[in-house]
Structure 1
Amino acid sequence: MLQSSSEGRVAKCSGAAAWGALVAGALFALGCGGGPHYVPAAAPLPPDPAEVVAPDPAAIYIIVQPAEGEAAPEIVTRDDGWVPRTFPADNPFQRSRTWVGDYDCTQGNTGLALRIVDVRGRVVRAVFDFRHAPTGAAGSYLISGTYEPETRRVRFDPSRWIERPEDYIMVPMEGEIASDGSLFAGRIPFPGCGAFHLKPTR
């Protein structure tokens, strides 16, 4: 049976369409077809993995919002470390643990060694170790005080005996440390007592 010319044209067109669809599908599978792809401005493409920098956990990120029509927000970082307004003042009793010299009291001039046993911030604990050369009397007791860095002064008050010679009592002492740390001098605030002068040995 013969086909009409119109049917032949339809068959030819149908075959061409099928062939074109097949080629388009193959090109699409290869990433060549389908027309252009558009990415919304609100969802930018991710950066290349090699360009991604991990956030610094030790920093605070501050986003500065721009005015309308300006460039994208600027990211500013700052160190998260806390910096005090002033650094703790140096305690000279921390550096020099033994101070040697003498003091005057009712028994006369007496040798003295101030041995620092503990420094915690401004609080100082020490041993008042004395020896009166003319009589051979010697003893020691614990003292404690608070160093004032503004004035470089400290007052030590006694607490208990370590070794007590006969007829001796514990006395306080208050004085000032030279700005170069070379001398600790002051007085023994007790009736019949006078000045003391001590120099660091180590």
Structure 2
Amino acid sequence: MGAVSAWGALLVGALSALGCGGGPHYVRSPAPLPPDPVEVVAPAPEPTAIYIIVNQPEGTAAPEIVTQDESGWIPREFPAENPFQRSRTWVGDYDCVQGNTGLALRIVDVRGRVVRAVFDFQHAPSGATGSYLIAGTYEPETRRVRFDPSRWIVQPEDYVMVSMEGEIATDGSLFAGKITFPGCGAFHLKPTR
């Protein structure tokens, strides 16, 4: 029995040394196991686009965004700026039946090419003053606009509302044309801030 015990003890010791006996043994893996292979599908490439932002003067509509695509397309020219947006009031005079009359064209609303304003006049010799609403559409190709009246704000006695049509100088420093009413003539207006 002594020999069997010795052999048993020797066998248990050898198995323990080899990691086969005694309690549980934990083995640390040198690196985590890789995940199961998954098929990866690459997304389709999106078209390349370049965005160009055109700066606008302060107080104007949001800048226009122009896109250049893979073909290299870019518009040949950007939309013309509406010169009535740069100044809120144009001051000068016009000739009509009553004689030379002071005029302030007060821009109140600009939406694209459509302009709404107040035609505010004062005839110094008689002391007559008045104002009415007018509206017109600016044509960037010709730099011309025709304003037609819509309603009185202040109407002096013996005065009627008149239309006006004219052209803006290329540098935006002058709006000149004619009052389209029998007996009336030219007007000349300069922008103010």
Work out whether the TM-score is over 0.5. yes
Q: Is the 8 A contact 2:51 2:66 kept in 1?
A: no
Tell me the distance in 2 between the aligned counterparts of 1:84 and 1:147. Answer: 23
How far off its partner does 1:63 sit?
3.8
Letter of the 2:149 counterpart: P
1:166 equivalenced with 2:157 (yes/no):
yes
Which residue matches 2:175? 184
How far off its partner does 1:175 sit?
1.2
SS at match of 2:176: strand
Tell me the distance in 2 between the aligned counterparts of 1:108 and 1:26. Answer: 114
1:151 equivalenced with 2:149 (yes/no):
no
Show CA shifts across 1:89-110 (max 9, x none): 4332222112111222223332
1:1-202 alignment, distance < 5 Å: 1=1, 12-13=10-11, 15-21=13-19, 22=21, 26=25, 28=27, 31=28, 39=34, 42=37, 63=43, 83-84=65-66, 89-202=80-193
Letter of the 2:66 counterpart: P
Tell me the distance in 1 between the aligned counterparts of 2:84 and 2:129. Answer: 24
How far off its partner does 1:172 sit?
0.8
Letter of the 2:153 counterpart: I
Show CA shifts across 1:34-73 (max 9, x none): x987636736xxxxxxxxxxxxxxxxxx9457xxxxxxxx
Tell me the distance in 2 between the aligned counterparts of 1:94 and 1:76. Answer: 36
Q: Is the 8 A contact 1:63 1:76 kept in 2?
A: no
Show CA shifts across 1:103-161 (max 9, x none): 22223332211122233333222111122333333321111222233332221111111
Q: CA RMSD in A?
A: 3.8
Name the % identity.
Answer: 64
Q: Is the 8 A contact 1:100 1:199 kept in 2?
A: yes
Rg comparison, structure with higher value: 1
SS at match of 1:127: strand
Higher helix share: 1
How far off its partner does 1:197 sit?
0.9
SS at match of 1:84: strand
Q: Is the 8 A contact 2:94 2:188 kept in 1?
A: yes
Q: In 2 relative to 1, CA 39–24 (structure 1 residues): closer, same or farther, beyond 3 Å?
A: farther
Q: In 2 relative to 1, CA 153–64 (structure 1 residues): closer, same or farther, beyond 3 Å?
A: same
Q: In 2 relative to 1, CA 37–133 (structure 1 residues): closer, same or farther, beyond 3 Å?
A: closer
Structure 2, gaps ≥5 residues long? 54-64, 68-74
Letter of the 2:111 counterpart: R
SS at match of 1:180: coil
Which residue matches 1:69? none
How far off its partner does 1:178 sit?
1.1
TM-score, normalising length from structure 1? 0.64
SS at match of 1:138: strand
Letter of the 1:115 counterpart: R
